[in-house]
Amino acid sequence: MTERELLVTGIGGQGVQLAAQVIAKAATLEGREVMFFGIYGGMMRGGNTDSTVVVADEPITAPPVVAHAWSAIALHDEFWATLGPRLRPGGLVLVNDSTFAHEITAPVTVHRIRATELAAELDNPLGGAMVMVGAYGGLTGLVGLDALVEAMRESVPSYRQQHVDANERTIRAGWDAVPAGAHPAWEPVAAGSSGGTR
């Protein structure tokens, strides 16, 4: 079984929980096994907020809080110190370069994305998290672009539907901002077998 863990971290108000929910729902739409677990700090904005997503091609055996993870999306560095050590060597970290100032010295692959600025350029100043969602999908292939867009549309609450089109633009921009498949989540299936990845 292939099982991929994603830790998403930031501060309240950055869209951490929505980002994790969109990735989890997109994986479900594509028929993967998924576990999603959010942790909220005591403040609505500015406090710590983290989320864990586990995606697998068979039933998941991981507990709700994983000790070690394959990847992370870091929207802010305020609470990174406790999360960073949980990444496995050789893992992947996507960093919002606009709000994450610290250098990451762990033996992981780091991609820094100007997510906040890119979202603002697309008239979606609060869409940095959606840029990161698109970039994560593009780098890893964990989920496809169409599934991410559909999952976002299903995840945005009814009172925020005015943001859906802008969120789609930012997801697509994030996907296009990174080298496609540079850190693949799934191993290719050998030629002659059914399916493209596993």
Nearest to 79 by CA among 7, 128, 9: 9
Average pLDDT of the chain to the nearest whole number: 89
* pLDDT, tens only, 21-50: 999 999 999 999 999 988 776 555 667 888
CA distances from 136 to 96, 112, 157, 158 (A): 11, 11, 23, 26
Burial of 110 (0-12, 13-18, 19+ CB in 10 A): middle
CA angle 150, 69, 76 (to 5 degrees): 70
> Domains, the chain, ranges and CATH?
3-176 (3.40.920.10)
- The pLDDT of residue 77 is above 80: yes
Tens digit of each residue's pLDDT (9 = 90 or more) over 92-140: 999 999 999 888 988 999 999 999 999 999 999 999 999 999 999 999 9
Distance CA 48, CA 153 (A): 26
> Is residue 170 predicted with pLDDT exceeding 90?
yes
Span 176-197, mean pLDDT? 74
Query: What's the pLDDT at 198?
Result: 44
Pairing of strands 48-56, 3-11: antiparallel
